Amino acid sequence: MQTAGSAGESIAFGVGVTMPAILILGFDLEITRVMLVAVLGGLLGILMMIPLRRALIVAQHGKLKYPEGTACAELLKAGASQESIDAASESAKAELAKLGGQATSAKTIFTGFGIGLVYKAANVAFRWWKDTPERVFGQPFAAGSVSAEISPELLGVGYIIGPRIASIMCAGGVLAYLVLIPAIKYFGAGLAGPLAPESTRLIKDMSPNAIRSAYILYIGAGAVAAGGIVSMLRSLPTIWHGLKEGLKDVRGGSAGREGQVRTDRDLPMKFVLIGSFALVAVIALANPLYIGGTGPMARIMAAILIVILGFLFVTVSSRLTGEIGSSSNPISGMTVATLLITCLVFLVIGWTGSTYYVTALSIGAIVCIASSNGGTTSQDLKTGFLVGATPKSQQIAILIGALASAIILGPLLLGLNSNGSVTLPRISSEPSAGEEGAPLKQVENWPTGLHVDPSTLATHKQHEGKDYLVWHYTPAGGASAQQFLVDSTGTPQYLVDPVINGTHKFLANGKAAPKKFDAPKATLMSYIIKGILNHKLPWGLVLLGVMIALTLEMSGIPSLAFAVGVYLPLSSSSPIFIGGMIRYLSDLYVRKKYRGMNLTEEQLTAEGDKSPGVLMASGYIAGGAIAGIVIAFMQGLQDKVGWVTRLNDKIDKVAAANPFVSGGHADLLSCIPFVVLMLLLYLVGREILMRPKYS
């Protein structure tokens, strides 16, 4: 059940990151297009991950931690029946005994689960303290900032992955927030105009996060692309060995699988190859993935790029998930890298018209979903590896879950956009003070004189019983496209403002419109596509990120984890770093405990991986994640269910007077609960609290 259900989350993320860019680029969000992208990406990611299982899950066991997968495995072990324990391998029984038996193991992990659940609920749902304390520095270090998303999940991830990867990742965030952003502020504060690619704001008026969005994301995307390629090249020998093992199925048929133990039995490689070729054929033939005028060569090129980039970033996603966990896996960064490579190929070939916008986005979306689902599949397969599941059964469950989720997500996204879209005439009413109930004023939604040749339009749409032509108009200056309903003469009659990335907060009569949803990642995707195909992308920033990755590789430092830190907010990597430092202190105790036994470095690391601290961290991850799901569900009921809306209003009023949430010392005070969370993890890791019975 867990294996099948996990597929939905990764596909939903990929669809949500990429598909709204269709609207921003000026095209319709068609249900067939959304469903095709979701189905193709989800299934392709799983099929590509099947032959990689032996290379990354099995061969790299002990090196790639897969923290969320490990946490799920520990939960399953803690709740195992006596029958399951009796059927376990001798090594698994010995490991369980080392932790003091099932009772001690279950007590530790479920204590962590409860603490993580209660902490997350108090922090995010009831807002008892700020969830992301931040300190922004002034002169002489203007725009330098530090922040931390003080969540139990990220703290637990940092503890499981260990101090080295956690430190490298956080170092990338330090470079972005304490070097690059202050440097951009320092050198750009005196400029009289905006510095490209920013087109409206002056650097002196931009916050650290605004500078990150305008400049650092391009640098981070370049670093992730370069780091991913280097990581892929470094992993080729291991991957090739895993592929050779899988290809034995093709050569030997059922006879080649007879000697395999149950826990090493994957879906047959013939199934993977036939399924992959079938998906590639569908990609090349599926009309909704393209816009009229896209010829057969462009479609074949799209299919080839999806295969190459899909395999690259599924591999990278799986490795990153193993190193830093799903919570910090920069799938959007890989999607940006995919779009950079795809659009660059299109540029070299000469495919620069708006016709190829949707083709490029379709490639990016399928690869995004494939890499996202590949990372999630890795976590599931790691859980199965640790508890002795049959990989083949897991892979079938994931395929079913991915297909079901992809089919459901299309109608949900279109329903969300359709129900929340606002149709406005050229002149409408709006509260003068910007709040519902204030005196109304008349506003102009588009200038007079806007016109289009109706013979160039083909799509029709009904509104209030009348038929109109649909016109997607892109304003000058690179702004998001707007959708107009025009009459037979080509004159716009209505503006259709979508709920995703929409700008109009009020209906035509001045009443509040449905809540709008921002799509910053989708906006970035659209900027990259238009920027490259229109020769306006800031390649200097992208190449700066590439050079950062190459410099690290030349210094002997793994660049991919560092690049992720550059791309993600420092608030995401700093709690992971803290968790890694707690693990470092706990490992000092492990070294002291086994002093004189002449254990190797790998054996000491393995002993640390079996410590009660890992169980506690696993509980933190599971508890925080479950609380996050419940909180997200409740937030979806906001403005739809009366008692939820009233409860949230009361929570907001209490939070406004809470010194841990608002006020001059809120950032400092909100760190106190997190310090308690850190201290508990350290004490369990040092076996001061919840000490195993054997010791």
Helices (DSSP H) in 350-436: which residue ranges?
355-387, 391-420
Do 52 and 137 belong to one domain?
no
The pLDDT of residue 672: 95
pLDDT at 604: 73
Q: How far apart are CA 539 and CA 517, in angstroms?
A: 29
**Are residues 480 and 381 part of one domain?**
no
Q: Are residue 380 and residue 350 in the same domain, yes or no?
A: yes
Q: CA 661 to CA 652: how far, in whole Å?
A: 10
d(CA 193, CA 184): 14
What domain range includes position 445?
A: 422-497
427: three-class secondary structure by DSSP: strand
Looking at the fold, whether 448 and 351 belong to one and the same domain comes out as: no
Are residues 614 and 98 in contact, defined by beta-carbon separation less than 8 angstroms? no
Q: Is residue 393 part of a domain?
A: yes
* Nearest Cα residue to 537 out of 367, 368, 347: 347
Q: Are residues 625 and 675 in the same domain?
A: yes
Q: Tell me what pLDDT residue 406 has.
A: 80
Burial of 283 (0-12, 13-18, 19+ CB in 10 A): buried
| Cβ(414)–Cβ(29) below 8 Å | yes
**Among candidate residues 394, 420, 446, the one where a domain is terminated:** 420
pLDDT of residue 311: 83
Residue 695 in this model has a pLDDT that exceeds 50: no
What's the rounded Cα separation, in Å, for the pair 34 and 372?
A: 16
Contact 453, 487 (CB under 8 A): no
Asked, for residue 90, whether it belongs to a domain, the answer is no
* Rounded Cα distance, 22 and 290, in Å: 12
Least confident of 344-348, 476-480, 596-600, 639-643: 476-480
Q: Are residues 128 and 13 in the same domain?
A: no
Q: Which of 18-32, 463-477, 596-610, 641-655 has the lowest mean pLDDT?
A: 596-610
Distance CA 185, CA 206 (A): 8
> Can you read off the two tokens belonging to residue 46?
């799983």
Q: Is residue 351 located within the same domain as residue 446?
A: no
pLDDT classification of 7: cutoffs 50, 70, 90: low
Contact between 530 and 106 under an 8 Å Cβ cutoff? The reply is no
Classify residue 254: in a domain, yes or no: no
Q: Give the model's confidence band at 670: pLDDT under 50 very low, under 70 low, under 90 confident, else very high.
A: very high
- The domain boundary residue, chosen from 437, 464, 497: 497
Q: In this model, does residue 527 exceed pLDDT 90?
A: no
Q: How many CA atoms lie within 13 A of 130 on its CB side?
A: 24
With a cut of 50, say whether residue 102 has pLDDT above it.
no
Confidence of residue 94 (pLDDT cuts 50, 70, 90): low
pLDDT averaged over every residue in the chain: 81
CA distance 300 to 200: 39
pLDDT of residue 414: 77
| pLDDT above 60 (res 694) | no
- Of 569, 642, 662, 629, nearest to 125 by C-alpha is 629
Are 406 and 427 found together in one domain?
Answer: no
| Model confidence pLDDT, tens digit, residues 297-327 | 878 888 888 888 888 888 888 887 877 776 6
Tell me, yes or no, whether 296 and 383 share the same domain.
yes
Distance CA 614, CA 63 (A): 15
Per-residue confidence (pLDDT) for residue 329, from 0 to 100 = 65
Secondary structure (3-state) at 682 = helix
**Nearest CA-CA partner of 537 in 342, 293, 301, 306:** 342
Number of domains in the chain: 3
Q: What SS3 class is residue 130?
A: coil
Give me 188's structure tokens. 């750009």
Residue type, 68: E
Q: What is the pLDDT of residues 396-447, one digit of tens each?
A: 888 888 888 888 877 877 777 777 788 889 888 888 766 666 788 888 888 8
pLDDT confidence band for 152 (50 / 70 / 90):
very high
Q: What is the pLDDT of residue 103?
A: 46
User: Closest by alpha carbon to 453, among 432, 469, 437?
Assistant: 469
The confidence score (pLDDT) of residue 135 equals 93
Average pLDDT over residues 678-685: 94
At residue 87, does pLDDT exceed 50? Answer: yes
User: With 50 as the cut, is the pLDDT of residue 637 above it?
Assistant: yes
Q: Which two tokens stand for residue 211?
A: 């500078």
| 614 phi/psi in degrees, rounded to 5 | -65, -40
Pairing mode, strands 466-473 and 482-486: antiparallel
- Whole-angstrom Cα distance, residue 616 to residue 634? 27
Lowest mean pLDDT among 348-352, 619-623, 657-661, 666-670: 348-352
Angstrom distances, CA of residue 136 to CA of 175, 220, 518:
15, 21, 25
In a domain, 179, yes or no: no
Residue 79 has pLDDT above 50, yes or no: yes
* Residue 605 within any structural domain of the chain: yes
Residue 351: strand, helix, or coil: coil
Q: Average of pLDDT values for 581-588? A: 92
Is a pLDDT exceeding 50 seen at residue 219? yes
Is there a single domain that holds both residue 427 and residue 409?
A: no
Same domain, 271 and 415: yes
Percent with pLDDT over 70 in the chain: 85
Record the tokens describing residue 472, joined without a space: 């997607």
Q: How confident is the model at residue 5 (pLDDT cuts 50, 70, 90)?
A: low
Cβ(582)–Cβ(685) below 8 Å:
yes
Q: Which residues pair with 424 in a beta bridge?
A: 495
Last residue of a domain, one of 365, 399, 420: 420
Q: Which residues lie closer than 8 Å to 505 by C-beta, 6 or more apart?
A: 512, 513, 516
Burial class for 332, CB neighbours closer than 10 Å (0-12, 13-18, 19+): buried
- 47 lies in a domain? yes
- Percent over 90 (pLDDT), the chain: 21
| Predicted local confidence at residue 328, as pLDDT | 61
Q: How many distinct helices (H) and strands (E) make up the chain?
A: 27, 9
Amino acid at 513: A
Q: What's residue 6's pLDDT?
A: 63
The H-or-E segment that residue 40 falls in is helix 31-49
* Domain-embedded: residue 201: no
Weakest-pLDDT range from 152-161, 248-257, 415-424: 248-257
For the packed helices 331-349 and 559-567, what is the interaxial angle rounded to 10 degrees?
100
Q: Helix (H, G, I), strand (E, B), or coil: what is residue 237?
A: helix
- CA separation (Å) from 599 to 92, 97, 488, 665? 20, 20, 82, 48
Using CA atoms, how far residue 107 sits from 68, 77, 615, 627, in Å, is: 19, 12, 9, 19
Per-residue pLDDT at 412:
77
pLDDT (0 to 100) of residue 111: 92
Q: Do 290 and 396 fall within a single domain?
A: yes
Using DSSP's 3-state secondary structure scheme, residue 613 falls into helix
CA separation, residue 227 to residues 288, 531, 552 (Å): 33, 23, 9
Neighbour tally for 287: CB within 10 Å: 12
Average pLDDT over residues 164-188: 94
C-alpha distance across the termini of the chain, in Å: 36
Residue 522, domain member (yes or no): no
The whole-number average pLDDT for the span 192-201 is: 85
